[in-house]
Structure 1
Amino acid sequence: MYNLGVRTAQRFLLLPPALEERHNDIVNESEDYERQWTGWRPNRVAFMILGSTVLSVMLWGWGYWQRRAFSDSSCTLRTSRNSPILADIDVGLSTIAFNGSFFSETIFRQAASPEVDAAWESLGVNYRAAIVPESQASVGGLTPRQVRVSKKYGGGYPANVEGMHHLHCLNLLRQALFFNYDYYKALGGGAFKNEDYVLQAHITHCLDTLRQQLMCVVDVGVLGQIWWDTTYPKAFPDFNTKHNCRDFDKVRKWAEEHQGPEHPPEDYLRPPRRDDVLEGIP
């Protein structure tokens, strides 16, 4: 029979030795578990903080990569060769509405005159070559075999900004139009001071340069059509479209500010090595 014992007016059950030993083991295990759990709590909190920090860093890095991957500068590098210009300016992108009017002429379309020439000059069509520092030459694909400035005058490479050259070529094509040709031939300036065969070569060089440029950056936009003539409506292409454009003025200003001297001294250019001189104009 079980014995009953009383201690300080409290009744309790006396267990057999085997059950008493098992009871003590359970109590000890419970205490050990409680101590382990209590010790784990700070570690669990630290782990959660660490995990949150790592996740935050990963999300920030992903967001930064997204911004870089789709930034205007990144898009420029995907659609153009690298250039020392991009180290100095952000050409950006903005939406510009083209003036594609068929009969309403801008100043750039008008017949030859000093005012029209001034408008084209303002675009930088006759800027001199910029001077690219030797430290930035490789960025633009310039090599030691090309013309260089004498170290006496700071060194570097004379190099024309291609966009300015394209506008120069477009301006020459404008001057060579049948209704402008006689005007500029009589002035005898620029390309028109050369013999006819050289002038023709210059004009066709410009024509083919622009052909290649337009094919290289072929515009995938589409031209819708509009109705005109309220009496007998007819369809006509809508040339007044919108385009994502780089900041031309920033590029033009860079080209203007980095021009070489207008009247360079005779020893301005470094003498070429014999192996770097071609037999004729390519």
Structure 2
Amino acid sequence: MSKVYHSLPLDEEKLDDDSTTFASTTRTLSIDSDSERAGFVPRVRHRLAQHWMWLGHAVLLTTSVTLFTLSFCARNAKPNDATYTSAYSSYSPAAVAVRYETTRFTNLTPVVEGPFVGFGPEVDLAWDYIANDIGDTMISEEELDKLGLPRNSLKITHPRTGEVGYRAALEVFHQLHCLNLVRQAVYKDYYKHHGGDVGGADSKEDLMGHVDHCIETLRTNLMCQSDIGIFTFKLFPEYGFADDDYWPDFNTLHTCRNFEAVRSWAVEHTVAWDHNV
């Protein structure tokens, strides 16, 4: 049998060619798409890695600046009175009354005058105000434990509230009492006739024992404080000293606790009034 060939219409040939071309193009696009996809993923990962790297640098920089600022502020900030007192003083319920102030001593010239100098009724009134017109206070058992003091200390009953606690006093007033006693002992010819701790002593031995106790109290506290303030030397021609006679200049700046604030706290918390200390 002989083979018969039929010619295809032109449109069918074109369609067949187009189909072949489309298939080839599709395969090419598929290959290109796979290639692009394969290249795109690493690029995205690289960009993400760069993004996180810069973000990490930014976080570290921000943290460093913040810590530096906080450190600078902490180093240069002035602590408040309560913080300073708590850090550098033993516990005291009166710490809430402490107010620090910078003041210049102005009456420490070679020759001094003032309400606390010498003897006499007016001088005694001035000393009574700072040393004697303040009673003792009362602390709780919890406060006693904070102070590390024994529980067999003297117990008292608060006259207004009826609470039971321990009798206590502030050191500053005992120290001023002691200084006042030494002052009276210096002017004993006057005070042996005018009462006070000197005139009220039962014997010379009792008086000297009290004075020795007070001198030791003041020595202990002065050495404990160890004032590191600086004084210089200058001429005082107004007192008739020689032109080359230099004297210490004690009129210097000091950071002090406001005495009136502490005294007011003590008066407000007074529960007992005798001064046998």
What TM-score comes out, normalization by structure 2 length?
0.71
Contact 2:184 2:198 in 1 (8 A): no
Aligned to 2:131: 124
Alignment of 1:264-279 (within 5 A): none
Q: Supply the RMSD in Å over aligned alpha carbons.
A: 4.0
Q: Establish whether residue 256 from structure 1 lines up as the match of residue 267 from structure 2.
A: yes
Q: How many residues align?
A: 244
* Unaligned stretches of 5+ residues in structure 2: 1-23
Aligned to 2:140: 133
Q: Secondary structure at the match of 1:165?
A: helix
Note the alpha carbon deviations across 1:87-136, whole angstroms, 9 max, x for none: x33x2322111121121311111x21111111112213352221113332
Cα distance in 1 for partners of 2:29, 2:109 equals 103
Kindly provide the amino acid, as one letter, of the partner of residue 235 in structure 2: W
The match for 1:102 among 101, 110, 130 is 110
Cα distance in 2 for partners of 1:232, 1:144 equals 62
Cα distance in 1 for partners of 2:132, 2:42 equals 84
Note the alpha carbon deviations across 1:65-102, whole angstroms, 9 max, x for none: 6588954444434443221112x33x232211112112
Going from structure 1 to structure 2, the CA distance change for 1:257 and 1:60 (only over 3 Å counts) comes to farther
What TM-score comes out, normalization by structure 1 length?
0.69
Cα distance in 2 for partners of 1:133, 1:60 equals 43
Compare 252-261 and 32-41 and name the one that shifted more: 32-41
Q: Establish whether residue 194 from structure 1 lines up as the match of residue 201 from structure 2.
A: yes
Going from structure 1 to structure 2, the CA distance change for 1:150 and 1:74 (only over 3 Å counts) comes to same
Cα distance in 2 for partners of 1:82, 1:67 equals 26
Kindly provide the amino acid, as one letter, of the partner of residue 202 in structure 1: H
Kindly provide the amino acid, as one letter, of the partner of residue 119 in structure 1: A
Contact 2:134 2:266 in 1 (8 A): yes
- Matched-pair identity in %: 29
Aligned to 1:225: 233
Q: Secondary structure at the match of 1:219?
A: coil
Going from structure 1 to structure 2, the CA distance change for 1:165 and 1:68 (only over 3 Å counts) comes to farther
Q: Establish whether residue 216 from structure 1 lines up as the match of residue 238 from structure 2.
A: no
Note the alpha carbon deviations across 1:155-205, whole angstroms, 9 max, x for none: 11111100111111111111110xx21222112344532312222211110
Structure with greater helix percent: 2
Q: Which has the larger radius of gyration?
A: 2
Q: Secondary structure at the match of 1:123?
A: helix
Compare 239-248 and 77-86 and name the one that shifted more: 77-86
Kindly provide the amino acid, as one letter, of the partner of residue 213 in structure 2: H
* Unaligned stretches of 5+ residues in structure 1: 1-13, 264-282
Going from structure 1 to structure 2, the CA distance change for 1:63 and 1:103 (only over 3 Å counts) comes to same
Note the alpha carbon deviations across 1:228-269, whole angstroms, 9 max, x for none: 449733222111111111122111111111111448xxxxxx
Aligned to 2:154: 147
Alignment of 1:1-282 (within 5 A): 21=31, 23-32=32-41, 62=71, 66=75, 70-86=79-95, 88-89=96-97, 91-98=98-105, 99-109=107-117, 111-150=118-157, 153-177=162-186, 180-190=187-197, 192-196=199-203, 197-229=205-237, 232-262=243-273
Contact 1:191 1:202 in 2 (8 A): no
Q: Secondary structure at the match of 2:189?
A: helix
